[in-house]
Structure formats: structure tokens, C-alpha cells
Amino acid sequence: MSGSATDVPDDVRAALPGKLLDIPRVGGPRTAHAMTRSRSAAAPHTTTQSHTTTQSHTTTRSHTTARSSTPVGARRIAPRGAPATLDTSAASDVSTAKAATDGGTQTVDTFGWDTVFAISLTDANRAIVDHRSSPAGFEFRDESWGISCRGEFGDWQITLGGDGANIWLSLPISDVRGSYPGPDAAVTFSHPAMTATVQIRLHYLPQPAPVPVDPARPGPVPHDLVPRSATEDPADPVAALVAVDWAGAEPSQAVAKYLIEGALVGWCNDHLDQFAHVFATVELNRYIDSGDFAFCKPTYLSYAYVETDSGRDGILGVLCMTGGRPPGNNAQQLTPLAIPAGTRAGFNIGEGRLLQDMILPTIPLAWSHARTSDFVPGSDGHSITLADGASVRLPDVHHNGRSYTPHLTRFTLTIVNSVIQVDAYTKVDLGLGVTGWCQSVHRYTIGLGTNAHGQQTLVYRPVGTPVEQHGTTIESMVTTIVLIVLGVLVAVILAILTEGIALLVAGLVAGLLFGVAGMTPQMIAAVNTDRAPNIDLLAFNATHPITWPNSAAFTLRTVGLHSALQLGGDPGFI
């Protein structure tokens, strides 16, 4: 990495103005962009932000050595507007990533975001080339010092090395020329080709929105994800220099080297708006919708970048909150597993939406005496539990002319990778001061299936058989008759629990297929039958608010539960 201003030789410092020497560098004295390598260290939101823009994050990472500035999916130096020679072998890294299995797959973490839509770095870079978004070149001139510098750009590309909010751009430059004052006359210099890597950030800019038919229900406002071209914080510059590959040898004149670096970075900080590229367009909802597929409609926007675990490719993702929920302490962070193997894009629905929007409203349908207020989100954010002090009366069980009333006293529903697991504990009064208990574990999973019309739909199935233990609270008073009664009751209670838990899972599937929180019994009854609706509505409503450059309709390829529900497919890139 190039040195900071404190390393500048005296003759260079005498020949050039300080603004060309004291440029922001990654890890240098004038930038807060020094980043930590750990993905888990991504910083949370630190300031209040409106729902129409993304805020500044402090995610940082330190690099002591310069990495290759060759972008994924592009050649090193390409004349502006020329067809790119894409490295498809690098692009396949996302598609062929293999996940370890544990009852299914690795966990796909959305880090608290309600939805995450991600594409590969290769597809993001291809769009920059196809749209001819890169500036033609840069030029710097300071008449008072008698210095000048200019160069021509090739196609800019995102390159490996960024993380979280920080994007590293590879800038191929050719025909660099300039001059600076010498002892007797102006000294001219030239450099045939080089590649600079700079670090930038993105932000969302609102675009004109259609006039709403109903002013009380304004429609969504398109927001473009574009390079940030202005800042008010000197410690958070628009652009910071990461490294320069001089494509051979550095300029023979030290003054020329520093002049080129300073002129380039200064130009980027003043004119990054000339990199007129839209990385994505997102429809931000001003009206907090509670209708169909509201769990997919963005009301807060952010973004993140991450490299795959192999380090051979990268992923760019749009992060959204829905339903008017604030991001809280969510990190500007993206999992390397955001795109399913074998697909070009991944849409991920966070488990919070699955638990709170789909399963929780269905609980009263599972057991008639249950109320949604009896259950609360778990403190771990990954479960639903029975509230402290609450119990749920289950249907009466009859045996030999007597009625017994079991109560659900402990309940935890957790999504563990590909499995929905329910741990339940019930008690029943057997008389004579004896209480019977039953502890059971039920496991289900969901995935793709087909209906009677041969259309793709979501289905659920049990994973194994329920595991149960039972006993009594006072063993010394247990008789053979009590044990027989308890055995009969346990079988019935287990059937009641199994039926109710299966209905909860069916409610989750129905909620995803119909897009409605709080399913009706008729909707739930359609799941796992020939009448099940196809999954097209979910795929369309999930991906429609977010448009990538060069994309068309999203073609669904895979669906899997990985804590988050993950839809994998092709956005129709051309």
C-alpha cells in the first residue's frame, strides 16, 4: 500500500500542494475506513435515520498488504465501452458453494434484516460494463502551482476486498500525462497504464414517484442505490485510496507518482457523481401496508457487500426492513451464504417474519383456548415461547367415563437450520393428588413440491416421529391403574399436540403462499393437497420491489429453509 503523507520525500513536498499529498487512504490518517477482517464485527447503526436513506456505518477492516485489484468478472484493463471479457470461472464460486448439512444446511443469517436480496459480484460488474456507466477520464489542473494531470478510464469494476458498507472499486487508467514545475522549466511525465483501487460507499437516492390514486395510501417511492458523491465528515471521505498497481514499474519521477495518486483521488472525491451507475432500484413504501405480502414490502433500506468464504467472488445485497420496523442495532452485514448453490441470486426472508408474521397468528387455530398473547418471541430472537406464567388448556381427554384436562405449560418453537422444532411440556391432573406429565419434541421441515396442476408449491413434512417422555409427579402413589390411565392419556395428548403443531407449520406454509398473516382454516387446509396454490405469487411479490440492472422476471429454481427461508433463482439477467 502506498505511504501516507508523512512518508513523502522533501523534494516532493516542496513541488506539490498539500491537498495532493494529504489524500485519504484506507488505514491512513485521514480516513475512518480502516476495516477489521472479522465479519461479525460489522458495526450497528449509530445514528437515527429516516426510512428514505441509508445511514453511515462504522464497519471497518484493516489491510496491511495490497490485494490484487483485478475485479471479479472483468479483465484488468479494458478500454471504456469495449466488450468485457468475463471470467466465468470466478462467477461460478457463488453457485457451486457447498453447505455443510445438519438436519439440512448451514444457517443463513439475515442479521436481523427482514429481507435480503443478493446477487454475485460478477453480475453486478457486468451491468457496469453493459450500461457504460464509467467516467471517460479524470483531469486535474492547478494554475497557481503550474501542475496538471489527466488520464483515461476503462470500465470501472467492483473488486475483492470490501466488506459491509465499504465497496472497493478497480479503476483501470491509461495514457496518464501531466506536468509540474522543475528548477528551470516544466517537467512533463507520462505513464501508459495503471490500475487504482479506491474505497467508496453507496447510498439510496429517491426518484420521482407516481401520483397516488388515494392520497391517504401513497404508493412506493423508487430509490436508486448509487455511489455516494458527497460527505460532510472529513474522516469519512467519498473515496479513499487502497492501492495502485503501476502495471510494471512506478513512474521514475517520485513527484509524478504522488501527483498522479493525489490528482486521481482528489478527482474521485470531487466528481464521483460522474460514475452514474445504479446498482439496484428499490420501491420504498411510505404507507405501512398490512395487506397481502406486507412482509416483503420494504419500508427501510440498506445494503452490504461480502466475499464468499473462498475469497474468489463477492456478493452485493439489498437489506430491507418491512412493516415499518426500524433497523435497531442491525449491522450492515451480509452472509456469504446469501445465494443458494447453483443459482445466480438469492432472496432471503428472515426467520423473525416467519415466526412472528406467519406462525404466531396461527396459534389460536391450533388450540381453541390459546391466545396469541400467551406466546412471545424468544429472547434469542430465533423462537416463540410460552409467556412466563401462562398455560394453555388443551381439549379434554376422556377415559372410562372420566374427563381429564391437560394443560400446555411449556412451549418453545425454534427454526434450527432446515428444521422447525417444537418442544412441548403438558400436565394433566390424574386425581388423588397425582399429576401426569408429558414432554415431547416434534420436528418438521418445508420445501418445494408440486400440486395437481404440476405447478411448484411449498409443502411440509415431519422429520422423524415425535420423541416423548412421560411420568408422574408423585411416584410413590402411582398404581398400575394410574399408569394405564396415564399411558392412554399420553397417547391422546401427543396426538393433540402433533395435530396442533402440524397446523402451525401448515399456517407458515399457507402464509407464505397466500401472503396473508393470520390464515383462515380454509387456506391452511389447502396446504399439502392438490389444491395448494403455486409459489409464483411469493416469488413475484418478494422480488418485485427490488430491480437489478439488466434483470427481468425472477425465475425460481430452489426453495429451502435455512433458518431464513431462501428463494434461489435467476433474475433474468441479459
Q: What string of pLDDT tens digits covers the 574 residues of the chain?
A: 333 555 789 889 989 999 999 999 997 644 444 433 333 334 444 333 334 433 333 333 333 333 344 455 443 333 344 333 223 333 333 333 333 333 446 899 999 999 999 999 999 999 999 999 999 999 999 999 999 999 999 999 999 999 999 999 999 999 999 999 988 889 999 999 999 999 999 999 999 877 666 676 767 899 999 999 999 898 899 999 999 999 988 998 999 999 999 999 999 999 999 999 999 999 998 766 667 899 999 999 999 999 988 888 999 999 999 999 999 999 999 999 999 999 999 999 999 999 999 999 999 999 999 999 999 999 888 899 999 999 999 999 887 778 889 999 999 999 988 999 999 999 988 777 778 888 999 999 999 999 989 999 999 999 999 998 888 776 555 556 556 666 778 888 888 999 999 999 999 999 999 987 667 889 999 999 988 999 999 999 999 999 999 999 899 999 999 999 999 999 998 7
pLDDT of 471 reads 80
Nearest C-alpha neighbor of 570 from the set 558, 556, 549, 560: 556
d(CA 119, CA 484): 59
pLDDT of 188 reads 95
* Rg, Å, the chain Cα set: 30
Question: What angle, 0 to 180 degrees and rounded to 10, lies between the N-to-C axes of helices 121-130 and 88-95?
Answer: 140
Sort strands 467-472 and 555-562 into parallel, antiparallel or unpaired.
Answer: unpaired
Beta strands in 361-455 (DSSP E): 375-377, 383-386, 392-393, 397-399, 402-404, 406-416, 419-431, 434-450
Q: For residue 378, what are the CA distances in angstroms to 382, 458, 506?
A: 6, 26, 21
Phi first, then psi, for residue 340 (nearest 5°) are -65, 150
Strand partners, 397: 404
pLDDT of 284 reads 92
pTM for the model: 0.84
Q: Specify the 3-state DSSP secondary structure of 426.
A: strand
Q: What is the 3-state secondary structure (H, E, C) of 182-201?
A: CCCCEEEEEEEEEEEEEEEC
Q: How many CB atoms lie within 10 A of CB 372?
A: 13
Question: What angle, 0 to 180 degrees and rounded to 10, lies between the N-to-C axes of helices 536-543 and 480-514?
Answer: 60
C-alpha cell at 275: 460514475
Vertex 226, ends 225 and 232: CA angle to 5°?
Answer: 115
pLDDT of 491 reads 84
C-alpha cell at 528: 399439502
Task: Measure CA 73 to chain center.
Answer: 22
